[in-house]
Amino acid sequence: MLSTLAMTFLAAAAFAGFTQPAPVTIDFATMFAAGDQLTARTAEDDATNIGCGYLHIDDGTNPPFRWGFCQARVGESAEEYIFCETYNASLIDTISTISDFAYISFSWQDDGAGGAECFRVRSSTQSFYLPNFATAKEKKKKK
């Protein structure tokens, strides 16, 4: 009964356009970035983005090579951009599960060599981040 009620609410909320856009934000003081990918994709400028990715190479003779990264940019300013990388297997496993429309948050720290090391990565595809396709469509028409 409870799950049926929840599913009915989610369907109605999606139909009604119940969304919670989360614009990309970067806080350099706390070394934390967050935002949802749909809001970034439909931003007024073409530079705003947030995302994570990974590389897995296994040649069968050596231990597999695994590398992950996260990045965020707000607008076209070079000062509002962060890129961090990691070799941590559990973070790379988390990164490998991120979907195309996820809300992403990540933290980083100075790696001691002039770069940034990711040390926490989270993502969510909760219903609060359901895309409002009508709004996205209107933004595309304005461009």
- Tens of pLDDT along the chain (143 residues) come to 444 444 444 444 444 444 557 889 999 999 999 998 888 888 888 899 999 999 999 998 888 999 999 999 998 877 899 999 999 999 999 999 998 888 999 999 999 998 999 999 998 876 554 555 555 555 555 55
Q: Give the residue numbers spanning the domain of 118.
A: 20-142
For residues 96 and 88, give the distance between their C-alpha atoms in angstroms, rounded to a whole number.
12
- Structurally, the chain folds into a number of domains equal to 1
Q: What is the pTM of this model?
A: 0.71
Please check whether residue 8 lies inside any domain of the structure: no
Instruction: Please check whether residue 5 lies inside any domain of the structure.
Output: no
Give a yes or no: residue 88 inside a domain: yes
Spatial distance between the Cα atoms of 131 and 127, rounded to a whole number of angstroms? 9
Element (H, E) at 82: strand 81-86
Cβ neighbour number for residue 126 with a 10 Å cutoff: 10
Query: Is there a domain that residue 127 lies in?
Result: yes
- Asked, for residue 82, whether it belongs to a domain, the answer is yes
